[in-house]
Amino acid sequence: MFALVDMNSFYTSCETAFRPDLAGKPIVALSNNDGCVIARSKEAKALGIKMGMPWFQLREMQFPERIIAFSSNYELYGDMSQRVMTTLEEMCPRVEVYSIDEAFCDLTGVRNCRDLADFGREIRETVRRNTRILCGVGIAQTKTLAKLANRAAKEWPQTGGVVDLSNETRQRKLMSLMPVEEVWGVGRRIAKKLDAMDIKNALQLCDTDIRFIRKHFNVVLERTVRELRGEPCLELEEFAPAKQEIVCSRSFGERVTDYEEMRQAICSYAARASEKLRGEHQFCRYISVFVKTSPFSTEPYYGNHAGTKLLTPTQDTRDIIAAATRCLEAVWRDGHRYQKAGVMLGDFFSQCVAQLNLFDDNAPRANSDALMTLMDKLNKQGRGTLYFAGQGIAQVWQMKREMLSPCYTTKLSDIPVVRAN
DNA sequence: TCTGGGGTCCTAGGACCC
DNA sequence: TCTGGGGTCCTAGGACCC
Please spell the DSSP secondary structure of A298-335, one letter per residue: SSPP-EEEEEEEEEEEE--HHHHHHHHHHHHHHH--TT
Q: Is pLDDT at A84 greater than 80 in this prediction?
A: yes
For the stretch A105-156, pLDDT in tens is 999 888 889 999 999 999 999 999 999 999 999 999 999 999 999 999 999 9
For the stretch A61-75, pLDDT in tens is 999 999 999 999 999
- State whether residue A237 is helix, strand or coil: coil
For the stretch A159-184, pLDDT in tens is 999 999 999 999 999 999 999 999 99
For residue A178, the model assigns a pLDDT of 95
A132 touches strand B (CB under 7 A): no
For residue A384, the model assigns a pLDDT of 84
Q: How far is the CA of A293 from the C1' of B10 (A)?
A: 29
Report which residue is nearest nucleotide B11 when distances run from CA to C1'.
A218
- State whether residue A233 is helix, strand or coil: coil
Residues whose CB is below 7 A of strand C: A 98-99, 101-102, 147, 183-191
List the nucleotides on chain B closer than 7 A to a protein CB. Answer: 2-11
Q: How many CB atoms lie within 10 A of CB A344?
A: 21
> Please, what is the angle between helix A143-155 and helix A168-177, to 10°?
60
Quick check: A119 and A129 in contact, CB under 8 A? no
Quick check: A272 and A248 in contact, CB under 8 A? yes
Q: How far is the CA of A210 from the C1' of C15 (A)?
A: 19
List the nucleotides on chain C closer than 7 A to a protein CB. Answer: 14-18
**Mean pLDDT of the region A86-111:** 94
List the domains of chain A with CATH numbers.
7-75 (3.40.1170.60), 96-229 (1.10.150.20), 246-391 (3.30.1490.100)
Q: Predicted confidence band at A362 (pLDDT cuts at 50, 70, 90)?
A: low
In Å, what is the CA distance from A378 to each residue of A298, A316, A381, A386, A387?
Answer: 44, 16, 6, 7, 10
Could you give the percent of chain A with pLDDT greater than 90? 82
Q: How many CB atoms lie within 10 A of CB A205?
A: 23
Q: Is pLDDT at A421 greater than 90 in this prediction?
A: no
Could you give the percent of chain A with pLDDT greater than 70? 95
Quick check: A131 and A87 in contact, CB under 8 A? yes
Give the nucleotide nearest to A72 (CA→C1').
B4
For the stretch A206-251, pLDDT in tens is 999 999 998 899 899 999 999 999 999 999 999 988 899 999 999 9
Q: What pTM, to 2 d.p., does this model score? A: 0.92
